[in-house]
Structure 1
């Protein structure tokens, strides 16, 4: 089912969309806008998947083993010393 909708475009957006129709890449302005909305939908869905994966990773990290600040500093110092010796 199609729904008619009135939209506003900038002059640049209108010119670009019309050039796509004129070149034959799309059959109509509606086709251009439908494709644009479909791509935006896919982008938003992909970002949601990434965001959820990052949330899951953070939760796993927060629940995982931790080390004290002193231990972290000791490890960093040892890493720096190894790097100095290898140069």
Structure 2
């Protein structure tokens, strides 16, 4: 099903869209606008999925477990020692 809508675009957008049609990339101005909306929808859905994944990650991390400051320092120092050895420093 399709719906008719009136939209306003800038002169440069109009020139660009008409060029896409005249070069055969799209069959009509409507097809150009539809493709643009699909790209916006896809980008929006991807961003929302990324945000949801980050929220879930941070919520899980907020549940713990947590290291004490001293244990965190010890682990960091051990990691630095391992990296230096691996790099021959």
Cα deviations across residues 24-70 of structure 1 (Å, max 9, x unaligned)? 11111011001110111111111111111111111111113110112
RMSD: 1.7
Q: Give the number of equivalent residue pairs.
A: 87
Please give the alpha-carbon distance, in whole angstroms, between the structure 2 residues aligned to 1:8 and 1:45. Answer: 25
Unaligned runs of 5+ in 2: none
SS class of match (2:18): helix
| Partner in structure 1 of residue 48 of structure 2 | 48
Unaligned runs of 5+ in 1: none
Please give the alpha-carbon distance, in whole angstroms, between the structure 1 residues aligned to 2:3 and 2:82. Answer: 67
| TM-score, normalised with respect to structure 2 | 0.81
Please give the alpha-carbon distance, in whole angstroms, between the structure 2 residues aligned to 1:66 and 1:38. Answer: 43
> Would you say 1:70 and 2:79 are equivalent positions?
no
